[in-house]
Each structure stands twice: as structure tokens, then as C-alpha cells.
A = this chain, B = another copy of it.
Amino acid sequence: MSFEYLTNIPLEQAKKDYLALLRENGFGPQTETVAVQHAYGRVTSRAVYANINAPHYAASAMDGIALHARDSFGATETTPVTLREDQYVVVDTGDPVPEGCDAVIMVEELVKNDDGSVTIHAAAAPWQHIRQIGEDICAGEMILPGYTEITPAAIGAMIAGGVTELEVIRRPVVAIIPTGDEIIPPCADPKPGEILEFNSSIFSAMLSDWGAVPKTYPIVPDRFDEIRAVLRQAADECDMVILNAGSSAGRDDYSTASIRDVGQVLYHGIAIKPGKPAILGCRGPKPILGVPGYPVSGIIVIEELLRPLIELWLGRESESRSRTRAILTRPVVSGLKYQEYVRVRMGYVGDRLTASPLPRGSGVVSSFMKADGIVEVPQGTEGFQSGEEVRVRLLNAKKKLKNTLVVIGSHDPLLDELSDLIHTTNHSMYVSSAHVGSMGGIMAIRRGEAHAAGIHLLDTETGIYNRSYIRKYFPHGGVYLVRCVGRQQGLMLQKGNPLGIQGFSDIAREGVRYVNRQKGSGTRILMDYLCGKHGIRPEQIYGYEREEMTHNSVAVQIASGSADAGMGIYSTARLYDLDFIPVCVEEYDLLIPETAWSSPMVRQLIETLKSPAFAARITAMGGYTLDQPGEIIDLV
């Protein structure tokens, strides 16, 4: 186990020094010549001038006859003029104006005579209905300045100006080298210890989006000589290199050594989180970036360090993501040592834009997928408080956020089905759901952060669900409780029930490993209620402290063998092919603030709840009962 010193350079300093070093080494764009038809979206490397006039000949702008204007002089309604056959030429739109002619009369204004002559009732002005040479573009004129992105119309203008090819900025080719003994290509059945290689696919998509050309190399095992050889090859073949993984200070770290071997290392370690083990290296003018293996770290490192280089190369204006201000729904605590990037889910409820921090684990790629924005906590700052207004870098358009139904509360897989049904029916409407338990849902509604919350809270004194909680937490009203489903709760057990668990009280038996739900979830409240009822104390249950956030993740621990039992719903047990002991049927309802009631998103939600499509999906999942979903429940 060897350790290497990591620097902790502030991001801006690192970027500045890196760029200065690369520039000193000759970093910069290169050009190539492309056919004008293939130039869409490319960037001119220098001004483009027209080679010819457009139109390049004097052309008739109408269907009709060309003539010498002088021959028509004097023609009026009362004194028509007749032109002999040799005094005019029939022309169509676009035809060259014949020699000796300087005007066109439209076919609609002619009377054709049997002898081939035509009669006109108005004089033609010289050059009327003629497109002059160069009316659109004059030869020698600048069509586009340098460093200009080529639009569809610009392609038309260039072709019209006789430009057949032009010089554009070559797209930089960026090598992506995945490394690691444990890394394998994407598949559906990895073995324990094997890690699916998806970073290169994520990076490729990002690079394409930024205008670069990604080139992914085969996975390289953790061997210094092999990494070095591929790195050398990639630095020869490409303009920039991403060396992925192996940039933390673990025992298999050959990245720094191999970059140093083929070029130089400026910094190893920058003051950002996630992303701190990044390596800023180069070979001459070619940047070589050592990128951490965790996907979120990698995404942030290439976004912060590689994207500006690509934009500089392409001469593109740095596309600073648009920013907005939003209210934090939970505190964000950050170390003083790093600039931290916190992904947030955002929601517009009424006019209030909120930002809710997502899980910060750098391995959690799904949280990046769900993120609507990023809050940057500057180095030297301890974070932000709940309710504080913060600046957010937007990952999604505000318009999308405004059309998103925000559901925060208890987890149920039916929420995903609702989301799919709503978005499939109305492509411009989105659903964002966060699983924070029933009590979390009530709090989210109280704070004005959600349009709806799924709740299933048992009043242990009355045995009635939800109503008493609403009276307690919303004493002045202001919310609707909407019927959703009845659902079967119970004990999920390993397939075949190898431990022979017969009922709830068996979870306290010796040798039974339980997996619990988090505090504040309806299922936890039910669990604690049942414990009390059966006279079971928490310390009697092995695993009582082991908390998972969703039915699914409880089921997964049981299915994978690290736990024997957990409370959950039937549909989840069925999805994971687990045994199931029914305990009770509970009311899973939706809590909706009155202020959001008439919003289009809530309207769509209610409509979907009432739809046969929803009933069909719910029925197929199993373990649910439907009794007038979408109807308002009387709270008194």
C-alpha cells in the first residue's frame, strides 16, 4: 500500500495554470477543408467570401415575356400596345433575360393574339420583374466571418455564392481510455467484483454534445506497461486524452506514473468534490486528463476541465449553463477544503422554485440522471442552510421544470407507472418523484415543495389511515387527500422461506436478519406499531438499525441473501420473486395542496388516476385494490 501526495489546488488556479502550460506547448485548434454540403454545425476557421454573384445572371422574376421596356412605353388601359412576335421572348421564372431585353411583363397581364403578337395595357418600367445580378450576394463579399457556426441558411448562401468547400475548425478527437482489472464491457450478467464500464459511454455522449469526436479504447488492465503503451498510442492518435480510473491514491494507481512517463503531470489533486483526485497532465500541446473512476467525479472533472479546452479549441463561446436562484429545502453541509458540487432536484410549486439535494455519493449515477441542477458550494464555505436562497446551475430548462409534477413522499413503484402514463399521454408534462417517506411528504407539502405526496400513515389508536395526521399537521386545512390505492403490506421473506418464518413475531427469532425502513416512513411506523402490539423490543431484532429508503431496496437485500426478512408491499415482493406473509391492507393516498389543485399537472394526475390505463397497470402489478382512485376523501 503506497501513498502518493495529492495537491489541493483551487479549481480556478488549476484551470489557469493548465491552460497556460498547454498554450505554451502550442495547444490550439487545427483546421480542415470540408464540402459545403457537409458543413452544417461546423465553425469557420476564417472568413468565407463569395466566389460568384447570386443570382449570377439577370433572371426573370416572373413567368411571362421579356422585352425592351422602351417598346412598351405609352401602353395604358385605353391605349394598349401590341408587340410583334420578334419584340418579345417568352420567359419563365429563373430564365436568363435575353440579350437586348431589360424588362419582364407577367403572363397574367398579357393578351395573346392569334397572329403570335401580344397586347399589353400598361407600360413596363426598365428592369421591372428582373432579378439583378448580385441582388442576393455579390462576388467577393464576405458571407461569413471567421469563427462562425454554420447554419442551414449559411450553407444555402455559400452554395449560392459559388463556394463548394471551406476551411473549418477540425473537431478535436478525444481518446477515452478505460482502465481497471475489474472493469468489463456492458452486459446483463456481471459477476461479483466485476464492474460494468459505463463511464466511456457517458463521456462519449458528453463529448459529442460539445462538438468533439470521442474515440474509446478497449479496457486496459491495471498494468503499468500496458497503460503506458495505450496512453502513448492515444496521445499520438488523438488531440486530447482522458485516462479513466486509477487516479485515486490506491494501490493500483499507475495513472500518474504513466502520464509522467509519456509527458508531464502539472497537478494531481484539485480542490473540488467530487473529483479531487483528478490528474492534469499533458504531452506537449495535448492535454491528458486523469479522471477518477466514480462516474459523478468523472463527469464533473471533464465538465470543469476538458469542456473549456474543447470550447477554446472550437472557438465557441463558453456555454456557461444558465443559472437561477432557488430555495434550498434541506441544509447542505460542505467542507471548507473543497469547492463542492451538490446535485439538486428542482421543482416549481406555484411561483416558488425549490432545490432539494440529491444523494451525494460519487458512484450514484442515477442521481446525476435525476438532477435538475447543481449547487456549487465555494471552497472556504461551510454550506447553506435550509430555506436559504442559492444560485443553481441548471441542467434542465426552466420550462421543463415548470411543467413537472413534483411528488415527494412515501415510495411506491406505482409512482413510476403514473409518471410513465402521464408523460406518454402528454409529452410536455414530466413527473419528478423523491422517496422520503410519508412524514417527509407531509413536511414537503407544508413547506410548499411538492404538488403531491404519497402517504400511508396509520393512526394506531383508531386504525384509520392518514386523516388524523392531516388534521394534526394541517389544522387550518389547505390540502386535499385524494384516494389512490389500497395496498397489501406484509413480511417479505427469502424465496421458499428457508427459515420457516410463520408470522410477524418470528422476526425477533434468533438467526433471523431483519432489514428495516427509515424513520418517518409509513412502513416504519407500521413496523413499530406491530412490534408494540406483539411486545417486541427493537434490541431483540437483529438488523433493526439497518435502514433502507424504499420497498425495492429492502427487497433487494433479502433477494441477494444479506437479510432474511423486511416489511414491504406485495407488488415489490412479487417483482423480486420473494415469499410474502400478508400483514394488513393499508390506504396509500395522495396529499395535494389546494393551491396546486387546479394546476395542469395536478389535473393530469387526477385524470390519470381515474383512467382505465392506470387500473390496468396497477392490476398487473398485483397486491393493490382500487376504490374510486382520484376522488377526494372527506376529512371530517
Contacts and interface: CB of A to CB of B under 8 A. Distances in A.
A522 to B, nearest CB: 19
A202 interface: yes
B58 A136 contact: no
A127 to B, nearest CB: 6
Interface stretch (A141-149, A230-238, A486-494): A141-149
Contacts of A636: none
A378 interface: no
Interface string A401-445: 000000000000100110110011001100100000000000000
A552 B134 contact: yes
Interface in A530-563: 545-546, 548, 550, 552-553, 555-557, 560, 562
A424 B151 contact: no
Contacts of A160: 196, 198, 365-366
A559 to B, nearest CB: 8
Size category of the A interface is: 35 or more
Contacts of A155: 198, 201-202, 205
A109 B284 CA distance: 40
A36 B201 contact: yes
A146 B424 contact: yes
A147 B427 contact: yes
A364 B136 CA distance: 5
A423 B164 contact: no
Contacts of A552: 134, 138, 140-141
B187 A162 contact: yes
Contact of A157 (B366, B420, B556): B366
B427 A315 contact: yes
A360 B557 CA distance: 68
Contact of A51 (B135, B188, B203, B293): B188
Interface stretch (A91-99, A450-458, A592-600): A91-99
A295 interface: yes
A598 to B, nearest CB: 22
A138 B555 contact: yes
A159 B139 contact: no
A208 interface: yes
A154 interface: yes
A70 to B, nearest CB: 11
A557 B133 contact: yes
Contact of A145 (B54, B197, B420, B550): B420
A131 interface: yes
A52 B189 contact: yes
A252 interface: yes
A348 to B, nearest CB: 16
Contacts of A556: 53, 133-134, 138-139
Contacts of A96: 192-193
Interface string A322-339: 000000000000000000
Contacts of A157: 365-366, 369
A54 B221 CA distance: 22
Contact of A57 (B147, B193, B576): B193
B416 A145 contact: yes
Contact of A138 (B192, B193, B299, B550): B550
A179 interface: no
Nearest to A311: B427
B142 A420 contact: yes
Contacts of A633: none
A153 B368 contact: yes
A137 B95 CA distance: 66
Interface string A48-64: 00011111111001010
A159 B196 contact: yes
A136 B206 CA distance: 21
A361 interface: yes
A202 to B, nearest CB: 4
Given A140-B576, A423-B148, A552-B140, A57 B192 contact: yes
15 contacts: A1-B63, A56-B192, A57-B193, A63-B250, A95-B182, A145-B416, A145-B424, A146-B420, A151-B205, A153-B368, A153-B369, A155-B198, A155-B202, A164-B186, A317-B428
6 tightest Cβ-Cβ pairs between the two chains A and B: A159-B198, A152-B205, A142-B416, A134-B556, A40-B205, A57-B192
